[in-house]
Amino acid sequence: MDNEWFETVAEAQRRAKRRLPRSVYSALLAGSEQGVTVADNSAAFAELGFAPHVAGLSDIRDLSTTLMGQPMSFPAMISPTGVQAVHPDGEVAVARAAAARGIPMGLSLFASKPIEDVVAANPQTFFQLHWVGSRDFLLHMVERARAAGAAGLILTMDWSFSEGRDWGSPAIPERVDLRTMVRFAPEAVMHPRWLGRWARSGSIPDLTAPNLTPPGGAPPTFFGAYREWMSTPLPTWEDIAWLREQWGGPFMLKGITRVDDAERAVDIGCTALSVSNHGGNNLDGTPASIRLLPSIVGAVGDRVEITLDGGVRRGSDIAKAVALGARAVLIGRAYLWGLAAAGQSGVENVLDILRGGLDSTVLGLGHSTVHGLSPSDIVVLTN
């Protein structure tokens, strides 16, 4: 049944681990090489604490804000993640959950569902691009996003193609065919609920990337698209400026970890920045996003909206990021675990947990809105 409530994101992760085949669950785990960065993304939040008030608290709290012109019921949006074979409804279920909870949806270029279907489920959808293929192909994808009604673009730049993991990389097939089904059958039959969802949907996991379909062509496989991305010449700042101009609307540059890059992004007219290390999947040893946030806010926070992506697992994490200057956070693996645990209702469950935790933190800190959060609310914990 896809309506089982859980009380924490950690429990959503435990259920996802139980209910997904090992290869599918492994694909949801972050990290590269030694996993230093993915561990630090969460550990750094635990080094920040609060000093709550005990009286004069606000009975009513407004958690709403805006990002790139879009209203949000609380300062979080769905971070774009690739092919979501954890559930047959994939990104459409996530988009519906986000719409039901009043937050925007970020849709990955490598998503398993086409942008048209996702925008129909949530008009507040931001389409994410990687710099892949020629300028003509990028312009084709920009125009497709515009025609679909996307609210904005996200260009993700934080990737160095680090592939090795000390704990081993997941076994992901090129495509799901008869040979693949035979190979992975022992895993699948050990997880009847996951298998049953797909059986009831009348489909099988689709490892293609429909949003990368060339004009008049067929959707590439995920790895086919990935290889095309890896072989594309790396973009310059002039290339990024060109893409922003072609879009002409709200434009977020994702992957900022340095002040000088943040300043260049502002100079070329980006609407928003995402302080992000790709969830720990980029260059291992990059510090946690929350460690890098204050310096970037200090440098450009008065000229551009700044978000944070990486390690958010609790509503109090959102409060910490907002207190340190983020306009909002991007949620990644937390909602994927909810999707795996209970489909759309599981994603809604995760979002409710995060919103509830944020509300409790804003209450305890004596504020009536999230805009009251500031660095003075944060206590740096020392050993």
Nearest to 207 by CA among 86, 101, 305, 103: 86
- In whole angstroms, give the CA distance from residue 207 to residue 222: 6
- The predicted pLDDT at position 340 comes to 93
Residue-by-residue pLDDT tens, the chain, 383 positions: 455 899 999 999 999 999 988 878 888 887 787 889 999 999 999 999 999 999 999 999 999 999 999 999 999 999 999 866 789 999 999 999 999 999 999 999 999 999 999 999 999 999 999 999 999 999 999 999 999 999 999 999 976 666 687 877 776 666 665 566 556 666 766 777 777 787 788 777 778 899 999 998 998 887 788 888 888 999 999 999 999 999 999 999 999 999 999 999 999 999 999 999 988 888 888 999 999 999 999 999 999 999 999 999 999 999 999 999 999 999 999 999 999 999 999 999 999 999 999 999 999 999 999 999 999 999 998 76
- The predicted pLDDT at position 1 comes to 45
Tell me which H or E stretch contains 126.
Answer: strand 125-129
| 383 Cβ contact partners less than 8 Å away, ≥ 6 residues apart | none
- In whole angstroms, give the CA distance from residue 186 to residue 184: 6
- In whole angstroms, give the CA distance from residue 269 to residue 102: 27
Token pair 């290869």: residue: 23
The HSE-up count of residue 279 (CA atoms within 13 Å, CB side) is 17
In angstroms, the Cα distances linking 22 to 165, 189, 281, 368 are: 16, 11, 19, 44
Q: Please return the burial class of 242, using the count of CB atoms within 10 Å of its CB with bins 0-12, 13-18 and 19+.
A: middle
3-state secondary structure of 207: coil
| 278 in active site | yes
> Which residue in 53, 130, 191, 278 is the catalytic one?
278
Nearest to 311 by CA among 79, 66, 20, 11: 79
DSSP state of 84: -
| 125 Cβ contact partners less than 8 Å away, ≥ 6 residues apart | 95, 104, 105, 106, 107, 115, 118, 119, 149, 150, 151
